[in-house]
Amino acid sequence: MDVTKHIRPPRAVFVPFMMGHLFGVPFHKKLQRCIILEALDLLVATDESGFIKELAVTWAEVRRQGKDI
Amino acid sequence: MMETSSQSNGDSEQLRPGLWQTVNERYPGSMITKDDLVPLARLKKPLSECRLTFVSTSGVQPKGSLPFDTVHPVGDYSFRRVPSNSIPDDLEIHQLKYPTVGAKKDLNVIFPIERLNEIADEGLLGELAPDFFSFIGYNMDAERLERTLAEDIADAVEAQASDIALLAPA
């Protein structure tokens, strides 16, 4: 998050995931799709530059979900 | 999935104090700094009519294309075009700077080409641009990055008349 804030993108979705796993875990199509749609939603919903949306899901939770797939 | 949101107030809060100083000492000038915000570009038409391209620092590239130079001390300032209708089996990763264990099982964890095609096929997006763009994130010369690679990709994206560029780091 500190790096994301530092570079000041016009709009961003922040995910607390392991490096190299920006869109989640293998075969978790629902999550991968969700992250993309959250980013697309910002194109419509953002009012001013610098907005960062945090997804309140943990890496541990995502990994658990991935193991069930 | 519950969601929270926060708005950047422009402050840079290092979660690892001293790290950026260390990086800048080792690679002088490598940390890009910005003092202002990029003006917001608003959509001029519905998402369902927009053309989207994807830009990634994952180093994903078509099989058989020139591998990225992942060991050069200053980095690789080239990019690769990835046809948006590619399937994961057509693609490979040449990248040493992030763990690829997940991507090797399912490329979509770092380069969601299948998910983007599905979303476009469903009509949520107008269409995908003919090409996506990939480069590696290991670039230690920030000025060169901004002057060459960033400009080259921006020109390529604009040439394909994309309305949206989804950017994803690795």
Domain locations along chain B = 55-168
CB contact under 8 A, B109 and A21: yes
Q: Most A CBs within 10 Å: which of B108, B119, B122, as the mutation test of the A interface?
A: B108
In tens, the pLDDT along B58-94 reads 999 999 999 999 888 888 999 999 999 999 999 999 7
Residues 6+ positions from B126 with CB-CB distance below 8 Å: B47, B48, B49, B50, B51, B52, B120, B163
CB contact under 8 A, A29 and B102: no
Encoding tokens for residue B49? 């009519």
Q: How many CB pairs under 8 A join A and B?
A: 138
In tens, the pLDDT along B114-170 reads 999 999 999 999 999 999 999 998 887 888 888 999 999 999 999 999 999 999 998
CB contact under 8 A, B7 and A32: no
| B40: chain A residues, CB-CB within 8 Å | 10-11, 46-49
How far, in Å, CA of B132 to CA of B154, rounded? 12
Task: Characterize B105-133 residue by residue with b for buried, 16 or more Cβ atoms within 10 angstroms of its Cβ, and e for exposed.
Answer: ebbbbbbbbbbbbebbeeebbbbbbebbb
B62 pairs with which residues across the strands? B91
Helix axes A29-45, B113-121, angle to 10 degrees: 60
Provide the pLDDT for residue B33.
64
Q: Pick out chain A residues at pLDDT < 50.
A: none
CB contact under 8 A, A40 and B125: yes
Encoding tokens for residue B20? 């950026």
Kindly identify which residue of chain B lies nearest to residue A50, measuring between CA atoms.
Answer: B8
Q: If you average pLDDT over each of B25-34, B92-101, B116-125, which comes out highest?
A: B116-125
Encoding tokens for residue B89? 């089996």
ipTM, two decimals: 0.94
Provide the pLDDT for residue B119.
98
CB contact under 8 A, B98 and A20: yes
CB contact under 8 A, A21 and B106: no
Encoding tokens for residue A65? 């979900």
Q: Which of B122, B164, B161, B19 is nearest to A39 (CA)?
A: B164
